[in-house]
Chain A
């Protein structure tokens, strides 16, 4: 059974940093692209980052480029999101999601999500 378990969320002040983690199990982690998708309270879904199987390629929307860094450790089957210079508009539930790959641009499994609140 595919499982994705996020951790590391919490309350953080604007301008500070936070690192999210996602522990994957039930599949061969190194064979899949992985992604982060967020959802602001009572709002829709927003893609945040994607990383290739080896970690050599990363992709971001303009809203987080230069502030967020996605990374992975295939030996630990873990995905990470380093978030710097956080803003109030980054407040959201962050989901770790498995992505099929460049030819299959969708998210077939999602974690339960972790809440990040950016507030003073």
Chain B
């Protein structure tokens, strides 16, 4: 099973600040997927196939990476971006998720 390690576990950013969340895979994966989960809500797809924005997702979000290292970037932090973010792979079975990065607003 591929283990996904996210960092940081928790972070806080001021409005307008750039935020980067990293996801390291225990083995090489071909693509990474990212989800946003706000408090008390269900997860929402943000990024698919490493760098493609899901429908309706603001373009301040972006994804990049390859092999075992992937990242999610929020170009300019907004209050509504406060949430927990999860990465996910399915290059090999079973699909796995990272343990999450909690992003708070300063």
- List A residues at the B interface (Cβ < 8 Å): 37, 44-47, 59, 61-62, 95, 104-113
Q: How far is the CA of A62 from the CA of B97 in the complex (A)?
A: 16
If over half of B's interface residues share one DSSP class (helix, strand or loop), that class is named, otherwise mixed; here it is loop
Chain A nearest Cβ from B63, distance in angstroms: 12
21 contacts between A and B (CB under 8 A): A44-B98, A45-B35, A45-B100, A47-B94, A47-B95, A62-B94, A95-B42, A95-B43, A104-B48, A106-B45, A106-B48, A106-B88, A107-B43, A107-B45, A107-B88, A108-B48, A108-B54, A109-B45, A110-B42, A110-B44, A112-B41
Tell me whether B33 and A106 are in contact (CB under 8 A). yes
Tell me whether A110 and B43 are in contact (CB under 8 A). yes
Tell me whether A113 and B42 are in contact (CB under 8 A). yes
- List B residues at the A interface (Cβ < 8 Å): 33, 35, 41-45, 48-49, 54, 86, 88, 90, 93-100
CB-CB < 8 A to B54: which residues of A? 108
CB-CB < 8 A to B98: which residues of A? 44
Q: How far is the CA of A107 from the CA of B93 in the complex (A)?
A: 15
Tell me whether B44 and A105 are in contact (CB under 8 A). no
Q: How far is the CA of A109 from the CA of B54 in the complex (A)?
A: 10
Chain A nearest Cβ from B2, distance in angstroms: 12
